Amino acid sequence: MYTFSSCNHNNTDYYKTETHIDSIIGTASIPMIQLAYTHNNKTQLFEATHDQFAPPAAPGQSVFQAASLSKTIFAYIVLKMAEKGQIDLDKPLSNYLEPHRIDHSQKDWANALTAKIVLSHRSGLPNWSISPSSDLWPDSKLKFRFKPDSTFSYSGEAYFYLQQVIEKISNKPLEQLAREIVFIPLGMNSTSYQWGRQDIPSLDYDSIAVDGFDNDGVNQGKGRHPRANCAYTLRTTASDYSKFLCDLFGQDSKNGYVYNQLLKPTTTAQRYPQQKRMCDNNIHWGLGIGIEENEQLGRIYFHWGDNGSFKALFIVVPSQNKHFVYFTNSARGHSIIDNITPLFFDNTKPLALSAWINEPV
C-alpha cells in the first residue's frame, strides 16, 4: 500500500480511509488504484496495490488510461473555443467539415449535427463502427442508429468527428490544442492524448504507463493506441486530472461561459434506448459530463471511463465542495463504486450512477 498526500497525514480519518481503500481493492482483486480526493480545495492522494502488483513508477507518477474521461477535457476545449467565437455550438458541423465517413444516403441527418448535439450524445451515431484502434477504422463507414437530436445515444464516433472539425478550424492537432488550452496552463505534466509529450521529452510512457488486467486477472499490457482520439486515448494520473476538476469547479470558474455550458442538463440519459432502467430516471447529460439528481447529495456530476482492462471515474459533489477521481488497471474497476463513494461523500444509499454504469440491460 502506497499513500501520499498534500495534506497533513496526522489524522485518524486519513488512515481509516486508506485502510478501507486497501481492503476494497483487495476484495475486488484490482491490482492497482490511484485516487485523488479534494475537499475545500485541499487534495489528498492515495495509491494502493493488491496481490504483489508493482507500480511502474514512484507513488503518484504511474500513468493510467483515462478512457472516456478523455471526453470531458475535450468538451472543455471545444467550449473554450466557442467562448472565443472560433466555433458556433449550434452551427451544423458540415459547414466546417464534411463528414466523409457517414453514409451518403443519410446526408440530411449528417448535416443536422452540431457541436452541442455531439457533446450531449444526441448525435444518433453508434459508439464505434469497429474498434477505433484498428488499422481499418479511419476509413470505416458510419450509419446513424437514430435521428440526430432525438434521443441519448452514447457515441465516440461523433466526438471524433467533432475533433476533426476543431482541428480543421484551428489548424492544430488535438494534442497541441490540449497542451495549449489545458495541460500546460494547469500543470498537467503527465497527461497526453498520445504516447508521451513532445514538450516534455523526459516523460517516458514506456516506463511509467501501467499494464491493464482483464476480469480473469490476465495481463493485457499497456494498450498503446495508434492515434490521438478525444474520446478515449487520454493517459494521465489522478493528481493531474484532479487539477482539471479543481479548475472546472473552482470559484473563479463558476458562472463563467464554459462552466455554465458544460454543466447545464441538456438531455435525459437513458443509456440503453431499447430498455429503460430505474436508474435512468436520475441521470441527465450536459455538454461532456453526466449529471445525477441525488436525494441525499443534490446535483452531482460524473464521468466514467471503460477501456476494457482500465476503468476510471470522477464524481463531483458541489453541495459538499468535494470531488474525487480514480483510475484502476482492471476490468473490475467499476465494481467498487458502491463501496468507495461513502468513504468520501457519506452517502447512505448507492448513487444512481453506479447502477447506470454497471447494471446490465
Q: Is the pLDDT of residue 7 over 90?
A: no
Question: Which of the residue ranges 223-227, 253-257, 265-269 would you say has the lowest mean pLDDT?
Answer: 253-257
pLDDT tens per residue across span 39-78: 998 999 999 999 999 999 999 999 999 999 999 999 999 9
Rounded distance between C-alpha atoms, residue 305 and residue 119, angstroms: 16
Per-residue pLDDT at 4? 43
Per-residue pLDDT at 10? 43
Backbone φ and ψ of 50, nearest 5°: -135, 150
Q: Name, in order, each residue with C-beta under 8 angstroms of 66's C-beta and a sequence gap of 6 or more.
A: 234, 235, 236, 241, 305, 310, 312, 327
pLDDT band at 3 (very low <50, low <70, confident <90, very high): very low
pTM for the model:
0.95
Percent above pLDDT 90 for the chain: 91
Backbone φ and ψ of 24, nearest 5°: -60, -45
Helical residues (DSSP H) of the chain, grouped into ranges: 12-28, 69-83, 107-110, 115-119, 156-170, 174-178, 184-186, 205-208, 238-249, 257-263, 337-345, 352-358
pLDDT band at 117 (very low <50, low <70, confident <90, very high): very high
Per-residue pLDDT at 218? 97
Per-residue pLDDT at 274? 85
Rounded distance between C-alpha atoms, residue 328 and residue 166, angstroms: 31
Per-residue pLDDT at 18? 87
The overall average pLDDT reported for the chain is 94
200, with CB counted inside 10 A (0-12, 13-18, 19+), is middle
Q: Is the pLDDT of residue 282 over 60?
A: yes
How many Cα atoms sit within 13 Å of 287 on the Cβ side? 23
Percent above pLDDT 70 for the chain: 95
Tell me the longest C-alpha to C-alpha distance in the chain. 65
- Cα 107 to Cα 94, 110, 144: the distances in Å are 10, 5, 10
3-state secondary structure at position 104: helix
DSSP letters for 32-100: EEEEEEEETTEEEEEEEE-TT---SSSTTT-BEE-TTHHHHHHHHHHHHHHHTTSS-TTSBGGGTS--T
- Domain definitions of the chain by residue range: 2-67+192-254+291-358, 72-170
Taking the chain, what is the end-to-end CA distance rounded to the nearest angstrom? Answer: 36
**All cell numbers assigned to 320:** 459538499
pLDDT tens per residue across span 303-361: 999 999 999 999 999 999 999 999 999 999 999 999 999 999 999 999 999 999 999 87
Q: Is the pLDDT of residue 227 over 50?
A: yes
Per-residue pLDDT at 226? 96
* Cell 476510471 belongs to residue: 312
Other C-beta atoms lying within 10 Å of the C-beta of residue 338: 16
Total number of residues shown for the chain: 361
Rounded distance between C-alpha atoms, residue 37 and residue 64, angstroms: 17
**All cell numbers assigned to 126:** 453508434
117, with CB counted inside 10 A (0-12, 13-18, 19+), is buried
How, if at all, do strands 2-5 and 32-39 pair? unpaired
CATH 3.40.710.10 is right for the domain spanning 2-67+192-254+291-358: yes
Q: Is the pLDDT of residue 2 over 70?
A: no
Per-residue pLDDT at 251? 72
Q: Is the pLDDT of residue 8 over 70?
A: no
Among residues 217, 230, 209, the alpha carbon closest in space to that of 327 is found at 209
Per-residue pLDDT at 15? 67
pLDDT band at 5 (very low <50, low <70, confident <90, very high): very low
